[in-house]
Every structure is written in structure tokens, then in C-alpha cells.
């Protein structure tokens, strides 16, 4: 199994640091003004009591995500720490992750479209994402900005991106869709990307069509 020389937490910190200067700030949602309700000074015995205004509750956008099966307990086994990049210095996709016994514990994705960068960092059992195991054994990682699927195979790990909104992670329009496949057991990390570096947006397509 592939092991890198550095520890995984340091790799995640390095990837997050590289993209920190370009990460967009979170946009706070404004609280809607309260609506006043006129009330009569007195209510007669034959008058119906006025209805109370509805209570507006905050809704967790990923609270209703179904769980096909509980997330599998991390098994005993060797730890794999992989950091792999595919592309060119100015145009590439990179992923770093740690797995134990074939179960991915967390991952950091980083891409570069010079001078723009994109950074995603997700861990199990932390706020902002929900991890569960699907019927086919794939691990689903649900976030308000899109979904990731992680498939563990004997020869590789496959990360699938499904309608991941770039605005949150990259400050750019469009979606990230496609896969990144990382080979297991090779002396040097080997990976390939399909679709995830596509623009999927008319503005970005026009901006970068002369650079590819």
C-alpha cells in the first residue's frame, strides 16, 4: 500500500494554506424582519382567539439526507497517506487523503487554474458534511454545496464529484462534476482526473478556451 513520507494532517494543513488567500468569505444570511400582528385590546367570549404568528425555524440543508446504512466503523489495518497531483503547474487537480483499512478518513482537494485556485477540505464526524455508506458500498459525503462519492477498490480509490458548487470553494461560477482516480500500491502516487477540471460555465469557458 502507498505511504507518503509526511503525515496526513500536515498535508491537509499545507493544502489549506496554499488556498487560504483565495478562499471566499462566507456570506452571512440576514434575518428577516419580524412581522407585527395587530391584536384587539379585548377578546369577547364569542370571538375566536387570534392565531399566533408562525415560528420561523432555521433548516439544516443536509438534515434530511437519508442514510442507506450507517457509516462503517473504521477497521483495523495499515494506514495509507496519499498526496497525488495530475496536470501541469498552472493547470492541475490535486488530492491528499488518509485511509485506514480501505476506509477514507478525510480528504483535501486542491485545483489550480492560474491564477485562480480551489480548495475543499472534509473530514469524517465534523460539522458541515454528512458521511454514510450506500447499498453498493460507496461512501456518500453530502454537503449543502454538492455531493462526493468515495469508492474503495483493490487497485484504486475513486472520488466522484456531483454538482459541487464552485462559488463556495473557489469563488467562481459553475459546478465540479467528474472523477479523480488514485492508484494504490504504486511506488510513486499516480492519479488521473476526468471531468472535474471542465468549466461547466459559459463565462469560464470563454475565459479559458484560449489557455487550453
Task: Please state, rounded to an integer, the average pLDDT across all residues of the chain.
Answer: 76
pLDDT digits (tens, 9 = 90+) for 164-186: 999 999 999 999 999 999 999 88
Predicted pLDDT at 77: 73
> Is residue 80 exposed (0-12), middle (13-18) or buried (19+ Cβ within 10 Å)?
buried
> Beta-carbon neighbour count of residue 204 at 10 Å?
17
According to DSSP, the residues that pair with 179 across neighbouring strands are: 160, 194
Q: Please, which pLDDT band fits residue 108 given cuts at 50, 70 and 90?
A: very high
Q: Where do the DSSP E strands lie in 31-102?
A: 79-88, 91-100
- Using DSSP, how many helices (H) and how many strands (E) does the chain show? 3, 10
3-state class (DSSP) for residue 132? strand
In the block, cell 511506488 appears at 187
Compute the distance between CA of residue 103 and CA of residue 148 in angstroms, rounded to an integer: 15
Q: What is the mean pLDDT of residues 6-12?
A: 44
* pTM given for the model: 0.66
CA distances from 160 to 53, 131, 181 (A): 44, 14, 9
Lowest mean pLDDT among 22-36, 44-58, 147-161: 22-36
Amino acid at each position: 500500500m502507498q505511504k507518503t513520507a509526511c503525515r496526513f494532517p500536515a498535508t491537509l494543513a499545507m493544502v489549506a494554506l496554499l488556498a487560504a488567500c483565495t478562499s471566499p468569505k462566507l456570506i452571512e444570511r440576514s434575518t428577516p424582519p419580524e412581522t407585527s400582528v395587530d391584536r384587539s385590546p379585548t377578546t369577547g367570549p364569542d370571538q375566536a382567539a387570534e392565531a399566533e404568528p408562525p415560528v420561523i425555524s432555521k433548516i439544516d440543508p443536509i438534515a434530511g439526507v437519508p442514510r442507506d446504512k450507517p457509516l462503517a466503523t473504521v477497521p483495523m489495518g495499515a494506514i495509507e497517506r496519499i498526496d497525488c497531483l495530475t496536470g501541469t503547474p498552472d493547470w492541475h487537480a490535486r488530492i491528499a487523503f488518509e485511509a485506514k483499512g480501505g476506509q477514507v478518513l478525510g480528504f483535501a482537494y486542491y485545483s489550480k487554474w492560474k491564477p485562480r485556485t480551489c480548495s475543499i477540505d472534509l473530514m469524517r464526524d465534523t460539522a458541515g458534511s454528512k458521511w454514510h455508506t450506500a447499498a453498493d458500498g460507496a461512501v456518500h459525503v453530502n454537503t449543502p454545496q454538492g455531493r462526493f462519492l468515495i469508492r474503495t477498490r483493490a487497485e484504486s480509490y475513486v472520488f466522484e464529484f456531483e454538482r459541487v458548487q464552485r462559488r463556495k470553494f473557489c469563488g467562481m461560477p459553475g459546478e465540479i462534476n467528474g472523477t479523480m482516480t488514485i492508484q494504490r500500491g504504486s511506488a510513486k502516487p499516480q492519479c488521473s482526473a476526468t471531468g472535474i477540471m471542465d468549466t461547466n460555465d459559459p463565462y469560464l469557458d470563454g475565459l479559458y478556451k484560449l489557455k487550453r
